[in-house]
Structure 1
Amino acid sequence: MRHLLLLVVFILVLSGCSKTGASADENVIISSVKMPAKAESVSYDRQADPMQAPPPPPQKVDQQVEQKIIKEATLKFETDNLENSFAQIQKAIANNKARIINDSEGKDFATLFRNLTIKVPSQNFDRFINDVSKGVSYFEVKNISAQDVTEQYIDLTSRLKTKKKLEERYLEILKKANKVSEILEIEEQISTIREEIESKEGQLKYLESRVSESTITIEFYKTIPEKEGVKISYGSKLWSAIESGFYTLSDLLLSLLSAWPFVILFVVFAYFIRKRLKRRKKE
C-alpha cells in the first residue's frame, strides 16, 4: 500500500512538471513570434484618362477685395423755373464728370415736367446729390439705395478663374490626343467651357459697370396756374376740332375724286332715265 501511494505521488509530480514546461515553451514561442508591422498605405497614381480632364485645384481668391457697392437714387421735386433747375443740374453734371443718358420733357393738364436719367462716377455720387439739392426746398421723392455685391463679385471671379484653368487643362490634353473621336470630343468640351467663360466675363463686366457708375433719375416739374391750364386746354381742343373737320373734308373730296368713273356713269344713267320719262309724259 505504501508503495502504491509513492507511485501516485510520483506520477502527479511528473504531470505537473510537464505542464509547467509546456507553458514555458509556449511563452517562449509566442514571444519569439513578431507581429507583422502595419502595412504602409501605398498611393497609386491613377492612369490619366485622355478623355477626362482632372478637376483643377480650388482657386484661392484674395479676400482683401475692395467692397463693391451699387448706388442708385430717385429724386422728384417742384420748381418755379424749369430752365434754371436744368441749368443747375447741368452744372452739377459738369463738376462731377457725369453724363445724361436719357432726357425727356412734356406737359399734362396741370404741370410742365422734365425727366433725366444720369450716370455719375460712384466716388462722386454723394457730392452730385448735394449739388442737385441746392435750392430745392423739399423733395416729393428722394430714394437712395446702396446694394453690396462684394460676395457676388468674388464668386464670379473665382468661378471665372476655375473655368479658365479647366480650359488650359483641356488644351493640354488636346495636344496629346491622337484619335479623331477624342479630338472632336475634347474640342466640344472646350467650346462649352469657352461659352461659360464668356458668360461669366459678361456678368462680371456688367457688375463692374454698375459699381463704377451710379444711376440717378431726376424728375422736376412746374405747376401751371388753373386758369392758364383751362385756357390752354380749351384752345387746344378748339384747334384740334378745326383740324379734324378740315381733314374730314379733305378725305371726302379725295374719295369723290377717286370715284369719278362711277359719278360719270351715274350722271349718264340719270340723264337717260329723265329723258325717257319726259318722252312718256309727251305721249
Structure 2
Amino acid sequence: MTRLRYGIAALAAIIIAATGCTDPDGTQAERAAVAPEPEVVAMDGAAGERARDGSAARAHPTLVAIPPAEQALVYQARLTVRVGNVDTAAERAKDIVTGAGGYVAQEERDTADRSDRAVLTLKVPPQRYPEVLSRLGGLGRRESLHQSTEDVTEEVADVDSRVKSARSAIDRLRTLLTRANKIGEVLEIEREISNRQAELESLLARQKALAARTSMATITLTLLGEGKGDDPGAGERPPGFLAGLQNGWRALVFAAQVALTALGAVLPWAVVAAVAWLAVRPLLRRARRGTAPPAGEGPGTGGGAR
C-alpha cells in the first residue's frame, strides 16, 4: 500500500509538472501564433483601406472649383477697310453690329470728288468682339488693323470701394446732424455733407464711365471708297492727241485760276488808288490855274508899250 501511494503521488507530480510546463508553452505559442494575427490583419486592413482610398482618388479625382477672376477689360480696335461702295458697306456694318447686340455710337461721312469715306464708331458686347471684328474685316480689302486691351480691374475695385466709403461717411454725418444742438455744429456738418456729396457724385460719374467702357467694346471702322486716284492704270496712259489736249486744257485752267487770283489780289488796291486819284485831281487843277499868268500880260503887250 505504501508503494502504491508513493507511485500514485509520483505519477500525480509528473502529471502536474508536465501540465505546468505545457500550459505556459502552449499559451505563449498560442499568443505568438494567434495574437499577432489580429495586429497583422488590422495593419493590413488599414493599409488596404488607404490603398482603396488612393485608388478611388486616382479613379475619381476631386475637382477643385476655382472661381474665374472678375477682370474688367476694355477692348478697342481701329479697322480700315477699302470697299467698292461705301454706302452699302456702311449699312452692312450696321446690320452686323446690331445683330450682335451692339449699336452705332457715332457716324461721319466725307464725300469728295476723288474718294468717298465713312467713319463709324461701333459698340459691341465683349463676348462678340472677335466675331464682329472678323466680319467687319470681310467687308472689303483690309488696309490696317490696330487692337488694344486695357485691364482696369484695380481701378474699378478702387472706385467701388471709395463710393461705398463715401456713402457710409455721408450716412454718419447725417446721423450727427440730427444730434447737433448748436448752430455752428449744424453749419459745419452741413458743409462737410455737401463736400462729401460732391465727391460721391464725381465717383459715381467715374464709376458709370468705367462700366460703359467695360460693358461694350469699341470698334472704330473707317470705310474708304475706290476713288479716281485709286485707278491703277490712270498714270500709265500712253501719250497722244487726247492726252495732250487734256494736259493743255488743264494748263489753261490753271493759268486762268492764277490770273483770276492775281486780279482778285490787285483789285482792292486799284479801287483805293482810283478813289484817291479822283479826290486829288480837282486840287491839282486848282493849283495849276493859280500859277498860270493873266491874259493881258503877255510878252507882246509889254513890248508894244515901250
TM-score, with normalisation over the residues of structure 1? 0.60
Residues 251 and 130 (structure 1 numbering): CA distance in 2 closer, same or farther, change over 3 Å? Answer: same
Is contact 1:113-1:219 (8 Å) kept? Answer: no
TM-score, with normalisation over the residues of structure 2? 0.56
Say which structure is richer in helix: 2
Q: Aligned partners of 2:186, 2:122: CA distance in 1, in Å?
A: 48
Gaps of 5+ in 1: 1-62
Which among 244, 267, 280 is matched to residue 281 of structure 2?
267
Residues 148 and 200 (structure 1 numbering): CA distance in 2 closer, same or farther, change over 3 Å? Answer: same
The alignment partner of 2:222 has SS state of strand
Q: Aligned partners of 2:182, 2:250: CA distance in 1, in Å?
A: 81
RMSD in angstroms over aligned alpha carbons?
A: 3.7
Other-structure match for 1:72: 76
State how 1:94-243 maps to structure 2 within 5 Å.
94-96=98-100, 97-105=102-110, 112=115, 114-123=117-126, 124-137=128-141, 139-221=142-224, 222=226, 224=229, 225=231, 227=235, 240-241=257-258, 243=260
Residues 81 and 175 (structure 1 numbering): CA distance in 2 closer, same or farther, change over 3 Å? Answer: same
Is contact 1:177-1:183 (8 Å) kept? Answer: yes
Question: Could you tell which deviates more after superposition, 200-209 or 267-276?
Answer: 267-276
Deviation string 1:60-80 (CA, Å, 9 cap, x unpaired) is xxx998542211101123344
Q: Aligned partners of 2:210, 2:98: CA distance in 1, in Å?
A: 25
Q: Larger relative contact order (C-alpha < 8 A, sep ≥ 6)? A: 1
The alignment partner of 1:178 has SS state of coil
Q: Identity of paired residues, percent?
A: 19
Gaps of 5+ in 2: 1-66, 237-245, 300-306
Is contact 1:100-1:116 (8 Å) kept? Answer: no
Give the deviation of 1:236 after TM superposition: 8.1
Which among 241, 252, 272 is matched to residue 255 of structure 1?
272
Deviation string 1:11-70 (CA, Å, 9 cap, x unpaired) is xxxxxxxxxxxxxxxxxxxxxxxxxxxxxxxxxxxxxxxxxxxxxxxxxxxx99854221
